[in-house]
Amino acid sequence: MSYQQYPLKSWNTFGVEAYADSITIVDSIDDILSDKCKNILTTNEPILFLGEGSNVLFLQDFHGHVLINRIKGVNITEKKDAWLLHVGAGENWQNLVKTTLDKGLAGLENLALIPGCVGSAPIQNIGAYGVDLAQVCEYVDVLCLTDFSQRRLYVNECFFGYRDSIFKSIYKENYVIIAVGLCLTKHWKPVLNYGKLYDLNPNTVTPIEIFKAVCTMRRSKIPDPKYIGNAGSFFKNPLITESFAVDLFKKYPDIPHYFNNYGKIILSAGALIERCALKGYKIGNAAVYDKQALVLVNTGGANGLDIVHLASFVRRRVAEKFHVWLEPEVCFISSQGKIDAVKVLL
């Protein structure tokens, strides 16, 4: 059997050349429940659901079937103290943020310009500039791919953590997210405790002003994947213990750090990489972005293994200097599906 049938280059923001046995776009739950998709899902061949491919790295051709989630729809219900949104998993996240702001709904502005679809947001518990999805999420709807039943998991059932959720464990296999429920309070308070947002006046700032400021900051650090292949932040910001922090800050007192929404001490992975003098460092056609060390880029023609080799080198250098082992935020895809990215980098 030939596995080089359907190109995946346009379906991953790294722009990596890879192929799949088939690619099928699903626009609705009924599409997934159609005979065509059921036949695909009930085979013993690997299945991969993708949104916009903004957080994946193909290491080789995928010897299975790719389903592109394009389940759309944004339904808004007004309550006394909040706006409730039911959003299809295939909606573009940035478009959703803009839609809510255009309608006068605040709460997502700090999460502006995060790439990908709404269905990917709960998996990573996406976050930026002091806000993460868990703070606005009400529920996540999933479809079981073995018996085709649907289930709603409320926020307390999602076990959200720092870039983590139940969708990376119990619901990692044989489930697909079909919709996300959000709750945007009418008692809005600006979150301005990060970067240049500190400069904004909390008494007069508007959600639109925060949105614009966040977009400006992100565009200054993360290249547009239309022109330079990347998946945004490649590594997670590492969590450290208080005892380790005491020793680390004695030696490096000016290392950027903060407490996240879960009370954990977080280091800036980008700052650690930059202090290893790795901005702009290249291995073949893979490079550390010269404007933001947390971003690895495909400068043109890099394959998945090129980027893996660069990531592994960066990870070792940071560990040698700071005794901190970075973990990838990007999901690694082998010929058979998702694999443990940390093990790949060992």
Kindly report the CATH number assigned to the domain that includes residue 329. 3.90.78.10
Question: Looking at the annotation, which residues are catalytic?
Answer: 163, 233, 329
In a domain, 290, yes or no: yes
Same-domain check for residues 31 and 108: no
pLDDT attached to residue 182: 98
Average pLDDT over residues 274-292: 97
Same-domain check for residues 78 and 52: no
Domain end, chosen from 172, 196, 219, is at 219
- CB neighbours of residue 187 within 10 Å: 7
Same-domain check for residues 337 and 307: yes
pLDDT attached to residue 25: 95
Check pLDDT > 50 for residue 91: yes
Note the pLDDT tens digit of each residue in 210-267.
999 999 999 999 999 999 999 999 999 999 998 999 999 999 999 998 887 777 899 9
The band of 43, judged by pLDDT with boundaries at 50, 70 and 90, is confident
Check pLDDT > 70 for residue 1: no
Same-domain check for residues 195 and 271: no
Query: Please, what's the b/e burial string for 254-287 (b: 16 or more CB within 10 A of its CB; e: otherwise)?
Result: ebebeebeeebbbbbbbbbbbbbebbebebebbb
Same-domain check for residues 193 and 271: no
Domain end, chosen from 163, 184, 219, is at 219
What is the domain extent for residue 121? Answer: 74-219
pTM of the model: 0.93
Same-domain check for residues 65 and 87: no
Q: What is the CATH number of the domain that holds 88?
A: 3.30.465.10
CB 332 within 8 A of CB 57: yes
Q: Which residue has the higher pLDDT, 151 or 259?
A: 151
Check pLDDT > 90 for residue 64: yes
pLDDT attached to residue 52: 95
Strand order across the beta sheet in which 6-7 lies: 6-7, 19-26, 62-69, 47-50
In a domain, 1, yes or no: no
Same-domain check for residues 232 and 133: no
Average pLDDT over residues 134-146: 97
Domain end, chosen from 19, 47, 69, is at 69
pLDDT attached to residue 307: 98
Contacts 24+ apart (CB under 8 A), 99-103: 99/74, 100/184, 101/207, 101/208, 101/211, 103/76
Q: What is the CATH number of the domain that holds 61?
A: 3.30.43.10
